[in-house]
Amino acid sequence: MLRSSALLRRLSTRGVDWNRLAQRATTDAARADFGRLRQQHDEMLKFITSAPEKVEPIDWDHWRKTIRTPGAVDAIKRAFDGLEVKNFDDQHVAAEATALFTQEVQKSESQVAEVKGLMSEIQSEIDKFNNMKPFEEMSPNEFLDMFPADKLRFDMEAELELYDTIDQGIWEPLKGFDLPEEHEEDSGH
């Protein structure tokens, strides 16, 4: 634990640009998560810096006097001296984390650009509707030119002869289709 605290202490000295990170939090939920992250970071930093810089050496003579089993302390000392704790090589992990972070930032930026493009398209559609002629003042051709999907549907329905366009220019369902009762009475059926 204490040997790893040296690594943690070294990692904790690397500066974190909190202002730059805070600018990326755009929603209230993201700001709350960011606040919790910063608080956890500060707590860990406080814990790490509270650990002693160097480990105090073990007083083996004290333990030989305290533990009276012959050879027990010497066996523990040999095992302890035989321990080999490798320092953690954080260069590989740091490089991998940096690459992953950069990739996620680029992905986020492309998503932001995509959303801005969609927002621009939507705003142009909204502007188109806000600036168009009221429906009541449009001719059928103007309406169909304004809404090509409806024109396509109308053309397909006309091909299927769903409307009788000869009778006074009014589209009425052809005979053979179910008509509402009041319409049947008006048409004399």
**Residues listed for the chain:** 189
The pTM (predicted TM-score) of the whole model is: 0.35
**Of residues 165 and 124, more confidently modeled:** 124
User: Could you tell me what percent of the chain has a pLDDT over 70?
Assistant: 77
Sign of CA dihedral 152, 157, 160, 166: negative
Look at residue 13 in the predicted model and tell me its pLDDT: 55
Look at residue 88 in the predicted model and tell me its pLDDT: 73
**DSSP β-bridge partners for residue 173:** 163
Residue 29 has pLDDT above 80, yes or no: yes
Q: How many CB atoms lie within 10 A of CB 26?
A: 9
Q: In which band, very low, low, confident or very high, does the pLDDT at 124 lie, cut at 50, 70 and 90?
A: very high
Residue 120 has pLDDT above 90, yes or no: yes
Residue 162 to residue 51: CA distance in whole angstroms: 85
Residue 155 to residue 149: CA distance in whole angstroms: 10
- Please tell me what DSSP assigns to residue 71: T
Look at residue 128 in the predicted model and tell me its pLDDT: 86
For range 151-166, the mean pLDDT? 69
User: Could you tell me what percent of the chain has a pLDDT over 90?
Assistant: 19
Q: How far is CA 158 from CA 154, 166, 180, in A?
A: 6, 12, 21
Q: How many CB atoms lie within 10 A of CB 16?
A: 12
**DSSP β-bridge partners for residue 172:** 164
Look at residue 174 in the predicted model and tell me its pLDDT: 45
Residue 115 has pLDDT above 90, yes or no: yes
Q: In which band, very low, low, confident or very high, does the pLDDT at 2 lie, cut at 50, 70 and 90?
A: very low
pLDDT digits (tens, 9 = 90+) for 46-96: 887 787 777 788 899 999 989 988 889 999 999 998 888 777 777 777 888
**Of residues 10 and 105, more confidently modeled:** 105
Q: What totals of helices (H) and strands (E) does the chain contain, helices first?
A: 9, 2
∠ Cα 20 24 26 (to 5°): 140
